């Protein structure tokens, strides 16, 4: 059953919305998995739980994170 021209517009719009949402979800998952959002998450947490303290700069944060991972590699593969 083929859609008429009038019916195909809303269907394509809904498909576009779903694909955009799927793309955003995949991007969120990959950036979270790879740690790209780690500093943003840290700053948000820090502002809520330690508002009286200045958070680390992004450079300080990544250096500290690398040092922590080197000191305690945990379940890392490499």
Convert the pLDDT of each residue in 17-53 to its tens digit.
Answer: 999 999 998 888 887 777 788 999 999 999 999 999 9
Whole-number pLDDT of residue 5: 54
How many independent structural domains does the chain possess?
A: 1
Best CA proximity match to 38, nearest among 72, 56, 61 = 61
Cβ proximity of 39 and 61 under 8 Å: yes
Q: How many CA atoms lie within 13 A of 25 on its CB side?
A: 6
Res 60 pLDDT > 60 = yes
DSSP letter assigned to residue 53: S
Owning domain of residue 21: 10-71
Model confidence band, residue 4 (pLDDT cutoffs 50, 70, 90): low
Does residue 49 lie in a domain region?
yes
DSSP letter assigned to residue 78: -
């Amino acid at each position: 059953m083929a859609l008429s021209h009038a019916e195909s517009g809303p269907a394509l719009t809904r498909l576009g919305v779903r694909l955009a949402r799927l793309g955003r979800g995949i991007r969120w998952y990959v950036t979270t998995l790879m740690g790209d959002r780690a500093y943003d998450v840290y700053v948000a947490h820090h502002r809520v739980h330690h508002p009286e303290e200045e958070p680390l700069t992004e450079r300080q944060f990544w250096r500290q994170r690398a040092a922590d991972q080197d000191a305690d590699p945990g379940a890392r593969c490499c």
